[in-house]
Structure formats: structure tokens, C-alpha cells
């Protein structure tokens, strides 16, 4: 990366040491970040590892832990006023109370089901396609998603977000969602508008999980010192613009 004089090195507390956590740690130096605290579930039950002393000089926490761990983690991070990037999925039960806690605490929080810039572009494409297809006769709409066999939540958070976005533009017909968990697939999502005469298919395929880690690290730079709660799907373009100014990959 080329250096941006307006962008300083960022200190990260990493929560969750699974595939995504390890990848964030490996890519951090390329994105002007250093991991100063790393916690897995055994060292952080109910957020117990997130003491003021442990967090020390942390600028931003990146959470790729588990859905069960999110409430405890976020409560401690709000208590110690640590800006946070939340990439864990499946935690949205009771999410309104957690997000309200973050707002009242004054921290900056970016949360999202998927930190790949391409997927977040897909949300807008899905809205536009649903608007167009709603006016051209009967269409059946299906969402297909496929992930590796280790992914816990099904449907994926991205598939649920796609369905939410499509409903938001007035699509009234049924939306069939199919999930597959097999092998080592990082993630594929496809929308299919089907009629008797033709099919319109729109697909996003992840080739490498690095896109999720890079998006989370870019979001960490963006949220540092920025109070408020932000859905990554609503701020990703601004995050991407800042990342582009900060350097080239």
C-alpha cells in the first residue's frame, strides 16, 4: 500500500480466532493495522477478557466471534468506549437493544452480515432488479446461497438481507430461500427471477475470504473516532472511498 499522510496506524482488539479472525490478523499489517489483543471464546466468556487493562491502547475492536458471544462482547466494549466492527452473523435476536446500547454509549459501531464490497453492491442491484421485474408479468423469485459446511447460520445473514432489501421496494410475491452447507465454499449468493419464458439470474461468488477481512479492516479505519451506529450495507461506499484514498491493494 502507498502511505496516506492523513491515515495513521490503527490498533486492533481481535475477538474470535477462527478462520476470519486469523485472516484479519494476517492481513492487518498490509492495512496499516496492528493486533494488540487477541481473544478466543475460552479466554473471553461473557466478555470477561475485555477489561480496561486488557484493552489498553486499543483503537477499534473487530468481532468475528460467535452469535452467543456478541451481547457480552458489545456490552463490555460499550462500557469501555471502544469503537467496534461487528462481522459476526446470527446474533440479531435482541439486536434492537444491543444497537441502542451502542448508540447511548457514544461509541462508533459498524455491523454487517457481509463485508465484501461486491455483496454490498449486490443489495442495490437486487433492489433495482426487483423494481424492474415487478412490472413485467408473473415472476417467481428465489434466493440460493451456498457456504462451507462449517457455517452455523442458515439462511446466511446475506440471504436474509437480500430478502429484506427486496421486500423494502414493494415485492409482494413469495421469495423462496434455499441454503446449502457443503465442502469449503466461502460463499455464493444468487437471485433468480423466473418466468415461463425466461430467467434472470444475478450471482455474487466469493473466491477468497480475504474480501471479508479487508472490508472489516477498512471499516475499522473508517469508524475510529466516529460516534454512531452504522449498517455496513449503508456506508460501504464511503468506507471503500476512504480505503481507496488510503492506499492501493
Query: How high does pLDDT run on average in the chain?
Result: 92
H or E element that contains 221:
helix 210-223
Beta strands in 160-226 (DSSP E): 175-181, 188-194, 199-205
User: Of the ranges 37-46, 71-80, 111-120, 215-224, which one carries the lowest mean pLDDT score?
Assistant: 37-46
CATH domain 117-205 topology: Dihydrodipicolinate Reductase; domain 2 (3.30.360)
Q: What's the pLDDT tens digit per position in 74-111?
A: 999 999 999 999 999 888 766 889 999 999 999 999 99
User: What is the mean predicted confidence (pLDDT) over 118-131?
Assistant: 96
pLDDT confidence band for 7 (50 / 70 / 90): low
- Give the integer Cα–Cα distance in Å for 45 and 124: 38
Report residue 235 CA to chain centroid gap: 11
pTM: 0.86
Active site residues: 147, 151
CATH topology match: 10-115+209-246 vs 117-205: no
For the chain, the structural domain boundaries read 10-115+209-246, 117-205
Give tens-digit pLDDT for 182-218: 999 889 999 999 999 999 999 999 999 999 999 999 9
- The dotted CATH code for 10-115+209-246 is 3.40.50.720
How many C-beta atoms lie closer than 10 Å to residue 225's C-beta?
Answer: 9
- Residue 248's pLDDT is 39
Nearest to 179 by CA among 200, 160, 201: 160
Give exposure, 40-63, as e/b (b: 16+ Cβ within 10 Å).
eeeebeebebbeeebbeebbbbbb
DSSP letter for 47, please: G
Burial of 106 (0-12, 13-18, 19+ CB in 10 A): exposed
pLDDT score at 5:
40
Average pLDDT estimate for 153-175 = 93
Amino acid at each position: 500500500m502507498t502511505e496516506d499522510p492523513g491515515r495513521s496506524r490503527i490498533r486492533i482488539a481481535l475477538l474470535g480466532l477462527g478462520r476470519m479472525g486469523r485472516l484479519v490478523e494476517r492481513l492487518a499489517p498490509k492495512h496499516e493495522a496492528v493486533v494488540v489483543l487477541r481473544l478466543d471464546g475460552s479466554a473471553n466468556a461473557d466478555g470477561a477478557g475485555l477489561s480496561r487493562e486488557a484493552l489498553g491502547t486499543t483503537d477499534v475492536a473487530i468481532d468475528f466471534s460467535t452469535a452467543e458471544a456478541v451481547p457480552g462482547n458489545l456490552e463490555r466494549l460499550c462500557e469501555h468506549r471502544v469503537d467496534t466492527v461487528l462481522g459476526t452473523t446470527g446474533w440479531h435476536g435482541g439486536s434492537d437493544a444491543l444497537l441502542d446500547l451502542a448508540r447511548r454509549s457514544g461509541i462508533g459501531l459498524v455491523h454487517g452480515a457481509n463485508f465484501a464490497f461486491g455483496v454490498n453492491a449486490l443489495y442495490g442491484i437486487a433492489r433495482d432488479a426487483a423494481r424492474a421485474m415487478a412490472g413485467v408479468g408473473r415472476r417467481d423469485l428465489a434466493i440460493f446461497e451456498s457456504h462451507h459446511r462449517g457455517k452455523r447460520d442458515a439462511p446466511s445473514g446475506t440471504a436474509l438481507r437480500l430478502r429484506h432489501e427486496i421486500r423494502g421496494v414493494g415485492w409482494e410475491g413469495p421469495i423462496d430461500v434455499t441454503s446449502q452447507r457443503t465442502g469449503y465454499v466461502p460463499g455464493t449468493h444468487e437471485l433468480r427471477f423466473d418466468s415461463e419464458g425466461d430467467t434472470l439470474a444475478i450471482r455474487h461468488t466469493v473466491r477468497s475470504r480475504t474480501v471479508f477481512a479487508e472490508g472489516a479492516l477498512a471499516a475499522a479505519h473508517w469508524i475510529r473516532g466516529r460516534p454512531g451506529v452504522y449498517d455496513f450495507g449503508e456506508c460501504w461506499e464511503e468506507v471503500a472511498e476512504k480505503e481507496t484514498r488510503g492506499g492501493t491493494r
